[in-house]
């Protein structure tokens, strides 16, 4: 774990978003003064997940959705953990005749999306749910008991970028069941994970998970949602219990034995199908 990341995790949840805003404040000031920030891009200090290359990262994720789950202009999609609209922005040019729903547990991201995306594209809808996550907040509502506020069989495609990497096993189980419920028959879901196989130590890479438990590993045992790695057997069991099947796993370049140019995503891509 990097020194900067270590200090970030030591901050109380209420101060982590503030800390990131302070860190990027000089660059945000510069871009505001020079006009270098795109109108479709939030301030870097307000981007609370992922790297600061907001627009290019979003375009890459949209291309991943087209490549791996055959995203079409007519699809009705659900973006779980939509953040501050990184993927939603490029999807406004793709989902012309379909629809987009996204939700997140950080309210300021939803407010930005409602102001900057929803007003221009009424078929894009965003919801804030105060769900507890020790990386971002101290809300009382638990993810393991959360029911998505969407009806059965609503969505052709569901996706989660860097969400299951910040949830505990009991929470992942619940979300997989909810994905099954809201996704149409034969629907596809793309989710990213850090996956490992205990028999293949060479799969370890740039992310360090020193705290080992039954079927999963944690980066930080004090901030349990910081990052989590899931074993392949546990993933298979959770997916099957949720009524889903694994269509494909594409290893990410976080692994030591995977080159960046040979894959599409830092984390491991998992494609799930409703059965």
Q: Is residue 25 assigned to a domain?
A: no
Structure-token match 């078929």, residue found: 123
- Model pLDDT, residue 152: 97
Question: CA nearest 126: which of 86, 184, 67?
Answer: 86
Q: Is residue 142 assigned to a domain?
A: yes
- Model pLDDT, residue 87: 97
- Model pLDDT, residue 86: 96
Within 8 A by CB and 6+ apart from 33, the residues are none
Q: Is residue 247 assigned to a domain?
A: yes
Q: Is residue 8 assigned to a domain?
A: no
Q: For the chain, how many structural domains are there in total?
A: 1
How far is residue 179 CA from its own chain's centroid?
A: 14
Q: Is residue 197 assigned to a domain?
A: yes
Angle between helices 3-10 and 13-34 in degrees, nearest 10: 120
Structural domain of 64: 50-274
Answer positive or negative: Cα dihedral of 36, 42, 43, 49.
negative
Q: Is residue 102 assigned to a domain?
A: yes
pLDDT lower than 50: segments of the chain:
1, 202
How far is residue 135 CA from its own chain's centroid?
A: 13
Q: Is residue 4 assigned to a domain?
A: no
Q: Is residue 14 assigned to a domain?
A: no
> What's the CATH code of the domain at 149?
3.40.50.150
CB 119 within 8 A of CB 126: no
- Model pLDDT, residue 219: 93
- Model pLDDT, residue 45: 82
Instruction: Give the span between the Cα atoms of 202 and 24, in whole angstroms.
Output: 35
Instruction: Give the span between the Cα atoms of 65 and 270, in whole angstroms.
Output: 11
Edge-to-edge strand order for the sheet containing 228-231? 195-196, 228-231, 216-218, 211-212
- Model pLDDT, residue 14: 60
- Model pLDDT, residue 199: 75
Question: CA nearest 235: which of 198, 203, 262?
Answer: 198
Whether pTM exceeds 0.85: yes
- Determine how β-strand 76-80 pairs with β-strand 99-104: parallel
What tens digit of pLDDT does each residue of 215-264 get? 999 999 988 888 999 999 999 999 999 999 999 999 999 998 899 999 99
């Amino acid at each position: 774990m990097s020194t900067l990341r270590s200090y970030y995790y030591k901050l109380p949840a209420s101060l982590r978003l503030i800390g990131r805003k302070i860190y990027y404040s000089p660059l945000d000031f510069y871009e505001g003064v020079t006009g270098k920030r795109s109108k479709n891009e939030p301030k870097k200090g307000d981007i609370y997940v992922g790297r600061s290359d907001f627009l290019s990262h979003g375009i890459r994720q949209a291309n991943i959705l087209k490549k791996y789950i055959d995203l079409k202009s007519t699809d009705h999609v659900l973006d779980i953990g939509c953040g501050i609209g990184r993927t939603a922005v490029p999807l406004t040019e793709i989902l012309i005749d379909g629809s987009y729903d996204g939700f997140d547990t950080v309210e300021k991201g939803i407010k930005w999306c409602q102001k900057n995306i929803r007003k221009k594209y009424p078929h894009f809808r965003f919801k804030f749910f105060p769900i507890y996550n020790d990386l971002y907040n101290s809300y009382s509502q638990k993810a393991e008991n959360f029911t998505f506020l969407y009806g059965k069989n609503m969505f052709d495609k569901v996706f989660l970028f860097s969400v299951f990497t910040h949830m505990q096993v009991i929470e992942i189980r619940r979300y997989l069941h909810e994905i099954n419920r809201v996704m149409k028959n034969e629907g596809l879901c793309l989710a990213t994970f850090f996956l490992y196989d205990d028999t293949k130590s060479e799969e370890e890479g740039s992310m360090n998970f020193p705290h080992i438990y039954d079927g999963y590993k944690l980066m930080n045992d004090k901030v349990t949602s910081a990052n989590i790695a899931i074993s392949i057997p546990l993933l298979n069991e959770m997916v099957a219990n949720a009524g889903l099947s694994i269509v494909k796993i594409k290893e990410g370049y976080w692994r030591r034995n995977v080159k960046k140019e040979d894959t599409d995503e830092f984390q491991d891509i998992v494609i799930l199908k409703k059965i």
